[in-house]
Amino acid sequence: MIHPAKNLQKINEFANKKLGQNFLTSNAALNFLEEIITNKDNVLEIGPGFGAVTEILQNLTKNLVLIDTDHNMIDFMVNDFGFAKDKIIHRDFLKVEKSQLEKFSINTICGNLPFNISTPIIEKVILEYPAVDTIIVGLQLEYAKRCTMKKGNSWSIFLQAAGSVSFIKKISKKAFFPEPGVDSAWIVWRRDAKVENLSHLTTFLRCSFWAKRKNLYNNLRKNPYIDNFADREKWLELCETLKNDLQKNRADALTIDEILKFYKLFLPFLK
């Protein structure tokens, strides 16, 4: 593949820092995609850039759609890469209308995500697109590690309550242009929800992790979210009933199964 520096020169542009653009200089390290994606998958690639990931994806499935907010990248993918224009969505993924994606029956999301908006993208897919059962993304290395932790942070608990997460491969920062300050890594998430109503779970996790180094009793009673609960008083009553257990535990010390036990008790008051 052509080095992204040459492609940027060709289109007379620079990498857009605001959009978090760091382009892969080679796709040789992405052969793991062949073990995950099949020709039956309907894949949406977020932020194709100059097509490093696209080049592999289009050989694995005939049902590939791209989305990008940068018109320069879209023009390149159509005019230079030769990708079909009717399979490209010119929108910010976080603002795209669901109908624009649903018509393609997307079941797999893939992409080397901008580090600064990785969380809202993944969360949006999980909560708003139930037909998507697989997410394969490149992330900042330390963030990717956080996603696969068994305890310690609300984000990994959410991901693993909604499915299974696996660390695939580390990618050196030297494999990008411009070179970012940190290494990256790819993970795969597969939908396998362990609880009902994931949106309520996100609220419960925000409550539980509200203040660092505070036990669940303090966090579940003193967070700002409970003021919006219809059954606020019953929520607080349950906190008193479970006071001994809640005082013994901090959210960041609990495993996903332990967190979910408490979540199921409080769920009726989140509805």
Q: What are the pLDDT digits (tens) for 134-159? A: 999 999 999 999 999 999 999 999 99
| Cα–Cα distance, 61 to 64 (Å, whole number) | 6
The pLDDT score that the predictor gives to residue 19 is 79
Q: What is the pTM of this model?
A: 0.94
DSSP 111-125: EE--GGGHHHHHHHH
β-strand partners of 188: 136, 166
DSSP 4-19: HHHHHHHTT----GGG
**Cα 224 versus chain centre, distance:** 25
Tokens 């697989």: give the residue: 134
The pLDDT score that the predictor gives to residue 8 is 84
**Cα 34 versus chain centre, distance:** 21
| Cα–Cα distance, 150 to 257 (Å, whole number) | 10
β-strand partners of 163: 191
Q: For the CA atoms of 230, 119, 260, 130, what is the dihedral angle to 10 degrees?
A: 80
The pLDDT score that the predictor gives to residue 271 is 74
First-residue to last-residue Cα distance in the chain: 51
The pLDDT score that the predictor gives to residue 268 is 93
Neighbours of 257 (CB within 10 A): 11
The pLDDT score that the predictor gives to residue 230 is 86
Sign of the Cα pseudo-torsion (188, 49, 82, 125, in order): positive
The pLDDT score that the predictor gives to residue 21 is 87
The pLDDT score that the predictor gives to residue 239 is 98
The H-assigned helical ranges of the chain are 4-10, 52-60, 71-79, 98-102, 118-128, 141-147, 154-162, 198-208, 216-222, 232-241, 243-247, 256-266
Which residue ranges of the chain lie beneath pLDDT 50? none
β-strand partners of 23: 177
CA angle 128, 129, 134 (to 5 degrees): 130
The pLDDT score that the predictor gives to residue 5 is 87
Hey, what domains does the chain have and what are their CATH numbers?
4-191 (3.40.50.150), 198-269 (no CATH)
**Residue 206: CA atoms inside 13 Å, Cβ hemisphere, count?**
11
| Cα–Cα distance, 23 to 178 (Å, whole number) | 7
Q: What are the pLDDT digits (tens) for 69-104? A: 999 999 999 999 999 999 999 999 999 999 999 999
Q: Which two tokens stand for residue 53?
A: 């990931």
